[in-house]
Structure formats: C-alpha cells, structure tokens
Chains A and B, each alone.
Chain A
Amino acid sequence: MTLSGWSAFFFWFFGLAAIFAGLLTVMARNAVHSALFLISSLVSVAALFILANAEFIAGVQILVYVGGVMVLFLFVIMLVNVGAQERGSEEIFNRPRQVTASLIFCFLLVAGVLFAVNTGYQKLSDLRSQQAANQPVAGNARLRRGATLTSSITTQSETFGAALYRYGSLPFEIASVLLLVAIIGSVMLARTLKQERSADDVAPEVLAEEVREHPEVANVEVDSESRS
C-alpha cells in the first residue's frame, strides 16, 4: 500500500498539519487557543483517515470529537476561569526540572519508536510484497460509478457496518452501557450543593456547615417526591 500523486501530497500536508497543530496545542498559553489547535489537529487526522480508506471513521471523528468532545472542552474552559494565564502572569509549564526530565524521556521514546518503525518495517514490506504477488490487487475497477461518472463509490462503509455488527456486537452493547454510566457519572460529579440539596441527597452535618457559610442554600426547595 503506497499513496501516490495527489494522495501523497495531501498525506504530507495533513500529516505535518496534524503534528504542528498538536505542538501548538501543547505550547499555547491560552486554553481556548489550545482547544482550537486541537480541533485542527483532529480534522487533519480525519483527513489522514480518508486517505487510508476509512471514510466512515473520518466522519465519526469529526462528528464525535470536533462536534461533541471539543465543544464540551470549550464549555468547561469557559466555566472554570482561566484569566490568569491569558494575562501572562502564570507559568504554563510545570517546574523546570520536571519539564527537562519529561522532555528527555520523550526524546528517548521518539528515538526508540522511529528506530523500531524503520528496522521493523523492512521485514513487513518484504512480507507484503510476497503476499501481494499471490493476491490480485483489488483496484477501483469493480466499484460502482458515482452519478457524475467522475468518481467511484467505495464499499468501505458497507463493509465496516457489516463487520461491526458481525464481529463487534457485544462490545457495541457494552459501549452503550459505558456511555450511559458516563452520562450519569458526570452529572453526579458536576452537581452543585444547591442541586444536591434540592434532591435531598446531602448529609445533615455537611448541610448545617454549609448553611452557616452560605445561607442561601437553606432556602432551596426540597423535592418531596425524591424523598420517598
């Protein structure tokens, strides 16, 4: 599998864009800028997915990550006040000794990974050329043509859907339960004392202490149905 022509150009374009946007994500002073750079990195990775014949995953990436997760991140950034780092009065990185140690560690990691990719890939490509000799390569010829007759319609999403329900139906169900637990858990975690009080779900001694500090909590109506 090698890309060629415009595919190769777009591969390098989006690959470098993803890496630079990732670097800027880590180095940006403002958290909102960080989130926006992460969005562009995720979009670039989605483009790489399309180049790797995974159109459906690219769509899921943009819908779920960019549309869902990143909007959640932006909301939380705006909920917690980050004014100090915008003014430039706060150090954004951790203590210098820790930064040095982790950068050395990361350098060793990247050197090791690149070395492993370089040496290990030679064998893999030999194996692949062996197998490709046995197997006729499935080209674009047998695919249906699009309505404009300039492009062909891939069957990638169809294959993916069939495989998801054939091989992954149990993990699929487990994932749905996981998402339900995540929803309930995050609602529970982010609840304020006022909301806990209105559901009558707070220990009496904690409540007494809080009322001493914030008297407005005592005025919250207790939901009588949830008491039973």
Chain B
Amino acid sequence: MTLLLSVFVLLFQEAGEGRLAQMARGVKNPDLSKFLVIAALLFIIGVAGVLTRRNIIVIFMSIELILNAANLNFIAFSMHLQETGNVNAIAGQIFTVFVIVVAAAEAAIGLGIVIALYRNKETIWVDEIDLLKW
C-alpha cells in the first residue's frame, strides 16, 4: 500500500505551485511524460516477472512485456519529435518495427529451447534447471 502511495506521490509531484491544478491539467491533457510513466510501469512489471516467476514460459512473456514498454517509449518520442518538426522523427517507428522482429525471432528460438529442455529435463520450473550451478 505504501509502495502504491509513494508511486502516486512521485507520479504527480511536479515543480512549482498549484500542484493540484497542475495535476488535474496533466490528467486531462496527457502528454509525453504520461506515456513515459506508463511505459516505465510496464517495464518494471516485466522486470518483476522475470525476477520472481518460476515458470519459464511466463518469464518469456514478461520479456515480451519489457520489449513492449521499450516500443511505447520509441513511439512516444517519435510523436514528440514529429510535433517539434524534426525531419527524421519517424526513425522511432522504424526502430519499433525492428524491435518487434527481434522479439518474434527471440520468441521462436526461446520456445524451441523450452521444448528441447522439457524433453530432456521434464520440467519448466527454472529453479529445477540448475545443471550449471556449483
């Protein structure tokens, strides 16, 4: 609960006076920073999933979540730069496509590894896959 509260305090603390009015304006007219905040939260959720789960398939899904947060950042900055009249602002979207391609390749290889692993070790719990541990 305190964690959630401090997240909200950090989310809405802004410089200067009239904090509440500024907060209301920020909620009513979300701009680049709100995109970044949502992407950051998605990223953190993904990191938490990678670090805490035992099921290797869910760990892969958390990695997809992390990559999506990165994509959201790329798209938000691309939009921001287009607004300021940057000529090459579309590069963010191009990068996003390549991130999606690499994510697809990674998922194919990773799930192939999972199947091979399951065939040999009969488990998908990562704490039981400790062949290299000493």
Contacts and interface: CB of A to CB of B under 8 A. Distances in A.
B83 to A, nearest CB: 4
Interface residues of B, number: 84
A4 B26 CA distance: 10
A45 B51 contact: no
A94 interface: yes
A210 to B, nearest CB: 12
A80 B120 CA distance: 12
B130 interface: no
A12 B88 contact: no
Contact of B108 (A1, A31, A168, A186): A186
A34 B49 CA distance: 11
B83 A1 contact: yes
A118 interface: yes
B27 interface: yes
Contacts of A105: 47, 51
Q: Is the interface of B mostly helix, strand, loop or mixed?
A: helix
Contacts of B71: 45, 49, 57, 61
A208 interface: no
B52 A60 contact: no
Contacts of A52: 35, 75-76, 78-79
A192 B46 CA distance: 32
A185 B94 CA distance: 26
Interface string B79-95: 11011110010110110
B25 to A, nearest CB: 9
Given A103-B52, A186-B109, A23 B45 contact: yes
Contacts of B40: 110, 113-114, 117
B44 A106 contact: yes
A111 B10 CA distance: 7
The 6 closest A-B pairs by CB, nearest first: A102-B51, A189-B112, A186-B112, A182-B105, A26-B49, A135-B85
Interface of B: 3, 6-7, 10-11, 13-15, 27-38, 40-49, 51-55, 57-58, 60-62, 64-65, 68, 71-72, 75-76, 78-80, 82-85, 88, 90-91, 93-94, 96-98, 100-109, 111-116, 118-119, 124-127
Interface of A: 1-4, 8, 11-12, 15, 18-19, 22-23, 25-26, 31, 34-35, 38, 41-42, 45, 48-49, 52-54, 56-57, 60-61, 64-65, 68-69, 72-73, 76-77, 79-80, 82, 85, 90-95, 98-99, 102-103, 105-107, 109-111, 113-115, 117-119, 121-122, 124-125, 127-128, 131-132, 134-135, 137, 159-160, 163-164, 167-168, 171, 175, 178-179, 181-183, 185-190, 192
